[in-house]
Structure 1
Amino acid sequence: MEDVNWKDIDFEDLFDGDFSNYSYSTDLPPILPDSVPCRPEYLEISKYAVVVIYALVFLLSLLGNSLVMLVVLYGHKSRSITDVYLLNLAMADLLFALTLPIWATSKAIGWIFGTALCKLVSLLKEVNFYSGILLLACISVDRYMAIVHTARPPTQKRHLVKFICLGMWALSLCLSLPILIFRRAIYPPSSSPVCYEDMGDSTATWRMVLRILPHTFGFVLPLLVMLFCYGFTLRTLLKAHMGQKHRAMRVIFAVVLIFLLCWLPYHLVLLADTLMRTHMIADTCERRNAIDQALEATVILGFLHSCLNPVIYAFIGQKFRHGLLKILATRGLISKDFLPKDSRPSFAGSSSGNTSTTL
């Protein structure tokens, strides 16, 4: 083989040619900007600030919902059907509040509680969500039947409402079973452990199931029931100039409104995430990070809901305030001079016969 004399080669001549028409190909697909792994961007809020929020919600929910249950149970003689629903609603919020210290600890240092507790607290969170909106739908049907169809035989029978509440709890538990099955403690190699779904080889299929259930049974269908019932109820109240019942319905309307304000943003973001994962909208890094941040923020808002109903009762519900004052006076904690003359230890007063007004 003839030796090459590198001194005789003019390297400047190598780059004098015209390479504009030269085509270069490796037969590999082009690398698009959105095909590379996305760098996760987290919500600009300190994890310790989230811990403080969770701690405050826990304390307020524990105190508020305990007082709600106390007032309703104390006033058993004048307890209405709606009071029974609100009692179950307070129970659901209280059970969920008991898990908040665990979620707060997980937010600060990662999930250190193992798979069993991961399944349990995730189940309580799901059951709280489903039971909350299903009970609100039951209240809307109860108000609709009591106000719009007052001439019909009363359906507010105490034994019936107990079975309805048990049915709502059972349905909530059934809808929450996928979370119980798939949630477990996961230990990523480069980050803190998390409590998340592990679906194995059927991730795409089961992910859609986990999204369709809350969208359909946990929001859309109960919301349609509430819109129908409260639409006709409000029309009847306004048409008949039923002032007392209209005032009493303010608390229920406020409870439904607060529920929507707390959970509607989360469901809208979750819907956008579902559409992105099913490629109905473009999946880009920018959009993915925006949705992840929005989910993180709206979950906090949803958690906040567990302590807000007692605040509504305290500020708007006259019967709740009267019932609480009567309990305090009976126990000698306050003077009986603070009691209104017509106070009752229940949420509901009866305006006529079997048709009760709420709170």
Structure 2
Amino acid sequence: MLSARSGHIVPAAVISTMQQQQLNISNISSIAEASLEMRMASAILGLCFVLGVPGNLVVLVVLGRRLAGGSFTLWLMLNLAVSDLLTLLTLPVWITALLHGWTFGLVPCKLLSYLNTWSLYTSVLFVTLLSVQRYIQVLYPQRWAELKSVWRRSLLGLVWALGAIMSSHALVQREVSSKRDGFLHCLEHYRWFGEQVFTLLMEILLLFVLPFSIMASLYATLHRKVKKATRSSHRRMKKLVVSIIVVFFIFFIPVHLNNMFTIVAVSWGSNNLLQFSEVIGDITVALTIINSCVNPFLYAFSHRALR
């Protein structure tokens, strides 16, 4: 087989060799970018571990001492801190996997992925429940007072159970496979593109669209109906709850945008777009972990509200 280029006849074998060289150069470039991205992600995760674990432990101690008053808001924040801590305690494993590949086997891959996904869903649910509880307590205080303490505590158990069910797909989809860098990685494995699109769409819907819609509508109603808080303690607690929600979504928006980008890439069948999504994927996931180590500092700046 022959091919014409610049007016000269070039043997196909030469063209094949040239294409192979270009492909190798492209692969080397992709590996370099992936290595840089993984180092950046591991650095973010390492900082989150160093700051977040002791911070959340302090939050657990402080809030645990103040639960005698029975404030359901504090119970929600305590469970949110537990959820954050579950995520942070697994970070050394993921940092090692980013830098040296996954060497822990299939079962730990599935179980740790499930634990992370579970804590992620429960965090979203607890933050959403904070908004719902704030809405009912301010606008319908009598109804909230009539809700017995045992039913309020049951809501906490329901959140953990619901999060466990919603995250169960991680047990099925997580597998150990190799990437372009030659290392093994604990990654999602989809049997066909429809499964991937459905999973990503459900994550966007359940972890962003629905919670954000609920929170935005509730706080818009509160702002419209309650122009001025009557007590400074209510204002401080409102600022704390709103801060938790705003910070949560700031750090979660990138990963959901990347999920949408991945859906487009899969639908178009573009390998280049998929590779780009893979490169920035670890960074966006690492950003979500920042949320888990920021919350304790929000509590610290709002210590008067917690008192």
Give the TM-score range, shorter chain: 0.7 to 0.9
Q: Counterpart amino acid of 2:127? A: L
Q: Is the 8 A contact 1:72 1:79 kept in 2?
A: no
How far apart are the structure 2 equivalents of 1:241 and 1:127? 38
Q: Is the 8 A contact 1:137 1:226 kept in 2?
A: yes
The residue number in structure 2 matching 1:213 is 202
Equivalent residue runs for 1:265-304 within 5 Å = 265-279=254-268, 283=270, 285=272, 287-304=273-290
Q: Counterpart amino acid of 1:93? A: D
Matched residue SS, 2:227? helix
Kindly state the Cα deviation for residue 47 of structure 1 after the two structures are TM-superposed: 4.0
Kindly state the Cα deviation for residue 152 of structure 1 after the two structures are TM-superposed: 3.6
The residue number in structure 2 matching 1:148 is 139
1:305 aligns with 2:286: no
Matched residue SS, 2:141? coil
Q: Is the 8 A contact 1:65 1:90 kept in 2?
A: yes
The residue number in structure 1 matching 2:217 is 228
Relative to its length, the structure with more helix (as a share) is 2
Kindly state the Cα deviation for residue 252 of structure 1 after the two structures are TM-superposed: 0.6
The residue number in structure 2 matching 1:325 is none
Q: Counterpart amino acid of 2:115? A: L
Q: Is the 8 A contact 2:83 2:123 kept in 1?
A: yes
Q: Is the 8 A contact 1:142 1:156 kept in 2?
A: no
Query: Which of 115, 133, 141 is 1:124 aligned to?
Result: 115
Kindly state the Cα deviation for residue 230 of structure 1 after the two structures are TM-superposed: 1.4
Sort the Cα spacing of 1:236 and 1:244 in 2 relative to 1 into closer, same or farther, 3 A.
farther
The residue number in structure 2 matching 1:84 is 75
Higher radius of gyration, 1 or 2: 1
Matched residue SS, 1:270? helix
Structure 2, unaligned runs of 5 or more: 1-6, 8-22
Kindly state the Cα deviation for residue 151 of structure 1 after the two structures are TM-superposed: 4.5
For 1:276-295, what per-residue CA distance to the aligned partner results, in whole angstroms no more than 9, with x for missing partners? Answer: 2123xx8362x444433332
Kindly state the Cα deviation for residue 154 of structure 1 after the two structures are TM-superposed: 2.0
Matched residue SS, 1:66? helix
Q: Counterpart amino acid of 1:310? A: P
Q: Is the 8 A contact 1:208 1:274 kept in 2?
A: yes
Sort the Cα spacing of 1:70 and 1:229 in 2 relative to 1 into closer, same or farther, 3 A.
same
Sort the Cα spacing of 1:93 and 1:146 in 2 relative to 1 into closer, same or farther, 3 A.
same
The residue number in structure 2 matching 1:356 is none
For 1:133-166, what per-residue CA distance to the aligned partner results, in whole angstroms no more than 9, with x for missing partners? Answer: 1111111110000112234452553211221111
The residue number in structure 2 matching 1:97 is 88
Range with bigger deviation, 110-119 or 246-255: 246-255
1:63 aligns with 2:63: no
The residue number in structure 2 matching 1:258 is 247
Structure 1, unaligned runs of 5 or more: 1-18, 20-35, 320-346, 349-359
How far apart are the structure 1 equivalents of 2:118 and 2:209? 17
How far apart are the structure 1 equivalents of 2:37 and 2:73? 40
Q: Counterpart amino acid of 2:287? A: L
